[in-house]
Amino acid sequence: MFLANGWKDYEILYAGGQDKYERWGDVYLRRPDPQAIWPVFCNGKEVTWNEIEAPNAAYNRSSTGGGSWQKLKSMPSKWNIGYDSLGKHLEFIIEPTSFKHTGLFPEQASNWDFAGKLISDAVAGGRDDIKILNLFAYTGAATCAAACHGATEVVHVDSSKGMIQRAKENVVASGLEDAYIRFINEDCRKFVEREIRRGRKYDGIIMDPPKYGRGPTGELWEIEKSLYEFVERTSLLLSDNPLFVIISSYATELGSSAVGNVLNLTCGSKHGGKAVCDELGLPVSRMGINLPCGQAARWTPHA
């Protein structure tokens, strides 16, 4: 498991009954998690959520789909938490949304550190022009990580204007205003094709594609049907001396090995190396277990 166990401002305290109880700085939230299929345990004993101290807010599912937050204690509408990525401090804005999310996926910290080490090692080895492409880039945590570890240019692409705005705010919160980061509000497939025509090259590529979606002008994306072709095209953007390609997926239909096969058949066939695949995970601090949180495949040319 790619375990994100370096957090101080975030932790999962309990997980069970398809919910998880989290601490985000000084704010406690309980929200759904379909992977937590076991009961909740406290001090080795099975308990109900009513026996756990009430969080600041809980997200309640609706029988008709979706759900809403129930505020149980005083809390801010948004706040910041920090993460130290191999000695580099990052800061992110947390804001619960109507879709149960908070604007950050903490399990991705293991990917931030993985990419950050490869970038910082390359810089230490004398490379002074490292370009990183972040596709389906959401609120920019991986963008911030790449920039803080020494990437000379990071290109952040997302089809949502709101997510790009929050990513810009996270860049400022992390003290990275002077980093060279290009924000592109566009369908990722269209952007990749344009970059291919321009002959642009990148030393590292990060992507977190959705299971299903539509681009700004209705472009259909279904991960099982779209991922291979997209990665094949995107692999044409790799430089002659690439560092990595990282793909995360939260689609339960796809195993990490399937995504790894896509990387091996595309990036591996052009540059050698191999993809390493596993679940992303977070420790559940008061139950002594790890919660699976999607999967990732990481290709490097020297694996």
100 token code pair: 């149960």
Please check whether residue 250 is in contact with residue 223, taking contact to mean a CB–CB distance below 8 angstroms: no
Q: Please list the residues that pair with 292 across neighbouring strands.
A: 281
Query: What's the rounded mean pLDDT across residues 162-190?
Result: 97
Residue 16 has pLDDT above 70, yes or no: yes
pLDDT at residue 216 in the model? 62
Query: What's the rounded mean pLDDT across residues 208-237?
Result: 88
Please check whether residue 160 is in contact with residue 187, taking contact to mean a CB–CB distance below 8 angstroms: no
Q: Rounded distance, CA 216 to CA 187, Å?
A: 6
Residue 247 has pLDDT above 80, yes or no: yes
In this structure, the number of other CB atoms found within 10 A of the CB of residue 75 comes to 18
CA 16-18-22 angle, 5° bins: 65
Residue 283 has pLDDT above 70, yes or no: yes
Which one, of 208, 207, 139, 135, lies nearest residue 167 by Cα?
139
114 token code pair: 């993985």
Residue 190 has pLDDT above 90, yes or no: yes
pLDDT at residue 64 in the model? 79
pLDDT at residue 18 in the model? 96
Please check whether residue 200 is in contact with residue 241, taking contact to mean a CB–CB distance below 8 angstroms: no
Q: What tens digit of pLDDT does each residue of 70-122 get?
A: 999 999 999 999 999 999 999 999 999 999 999 999 999 999 999 999 999 99
pTM for the model = 0.96
pLDDT at residue 65 in the model? 78
Q: Please list the residues that pair with 153 across neighbouring strands.
A: 131
